[in-house]
Structure 1
Amino acid sequence: MHIYFANGLFSRADYDFNARLVKRLRLASGALDIYLPQENAAINDKNAYADSTMIAQADTQEVLRSDLMIAILDGPVIDAGVASEIGVAYAKQIPIFGLYTDSRQQGAMNPQKLTALQNVAENQFHYLNLYTTGLIKLNGEIFNSEEDLIKAVLAKA
């Protein structure tokens, strides 16, 4: 099974997270062929040069040959590149598994948090773009733990 792994890769934190989670997936099953864009030095060695069309062509080609996309949704907003990749995968009916681990999703039944929503600028929850998450849900699923994501990937493989 060919998997496209979509996440930002420019901060050390994202880069390390991507490498760690992809390693866990690869160890879980040798049947997984995972494309991790940061491993493609031809377009992502930032000491070298790749223009926007080179990057778009290389990553789009990998999205289109994928059987599944894993999209990381964490961050202040969904990474712009990840959102674009989700759109391409959805348009080609490639299943998408999102991972959303933001701790602000906790306490959804807490009455104080719910009451606070009535006050301006007191939203205790994180917002994700509903169009982008809707595309995922129309052709996949969103998980809130790495373990659940890995189980779902293995079940699909």
Structure 2
Amino acid sequence: MKNNCKYDIYFAAPFFCQGEKELNLKLLTQIENLGYKVFYPPRDGLVAKEKITSTSSWDFISNKTWVCDTKAIINSKLIFAVLDGRSIDEGVCVEIGFAAAYQKTIIGYSTDDRTQFPWGHNPMVLAPIAKLINSTKMLINTMAELVD
């Protein structure tokens, strides 16, 4: 994939509880140790919770977060989306849809047996995913295959 993207990978994942943060850090570290430049919203984007106290306008913060994250998706070669949980995080769903609209390659990471439907994840989320992986070993092989 040759282009002028600022980032190799946009890391879309829920990041609200300790377990999510630990998984993200583990995966993020493995990806970055492979030499890829990653945009991770809680680290590289706006941290909305910290900005709420400095302004009275949630609309202002929401808009700034949207602009920051969507620009990062546009400026990334590939999207890596963590799909774990009883249902896929709604922010991740939006990031997947936005990335699909820009025809970005999307890798889904799913190790959780719980899904919204008996047959698996929602097809509107799965359809734009180029490759679905379920282990860190697959992660390393897939990154080498799809990013470079």
TM-score by length of 2: 0.81
Deviations, residues 75-104 of structure 1 (Å, cap 9, x unaligned): 011110100010111111110000110145
Return the letter of the residue paired with 2:89: D
Question: Which residue does 2:82 correspond to in 1?
Answer: 72
Q: Which runs of 5+ in 1 are unaligned?
A: 106-122
Aligned equivalents of 1:91 and 1:47: distance in 2?
30
Q: Which of the numbers 107, 125, 133 marks the counterpart of 2:126?
A: 133
SS of match in other structure, 1:98: strand
Give the superposition deviation at 1:73.
Answer: 0.7
Deviations, residues 84-132 of structure 1 (Å, cap 9, x unaligned): 0101111111100001101458xxxxxxxxxxxxxxxxx9x57311111
Aligned equivalents of 1:85 and 1:18: distance in 2?
16
Return the letter of the residue paired with 2:127: G
Larger Rg: 1
Aligned equivalents of 1:12 and 1:130: distance in 2?
28
Deviations, residues 119-150 of structure 1 (Å, cap 9, x unaligned): xxxx9x573111111121xxx11111121022
Question: Is the aligned partner of 1:52 residue 2:85?
Answer: no
Return the letter of the residue paired with 2:79: M
Question: Which residue does 2:144 correspond to in 1?
Answer: 154
Give the superposition deviation at 1:46.
Answer: 2.3
Aligned equivalents of 2:67 and 2:99: distance in 1?
14
Query: 2:51 touches 2:61 (CA, 8 Å); kept in 1?
Result: no
Give the superposition deviation at 1:58.
Answer: 0.5
Question: Is the aligned partner of 1:35 residue 2:39?
Answer: yes
Aligned equivalents of 1:129 and 1:135: distance in 2?
11
Aligned equivalents of 1:14 and 1:60: distance in 2?
22
* Regions of 4+ moved over 6 Å: none
Q: Percent identity?
A: 30
Q: Which runs of 5+ in 2 are unaligned?
A: 1-6, 53-59
Aligned equivalents of 2:92 and 2:32: distance in 1?
21
Aligned equivalents of 2:108 and 2:145: distance in 1?
15
Q: Which of the numbers 6, 13, 17 marks the counterpart of 2:19?
A: 13
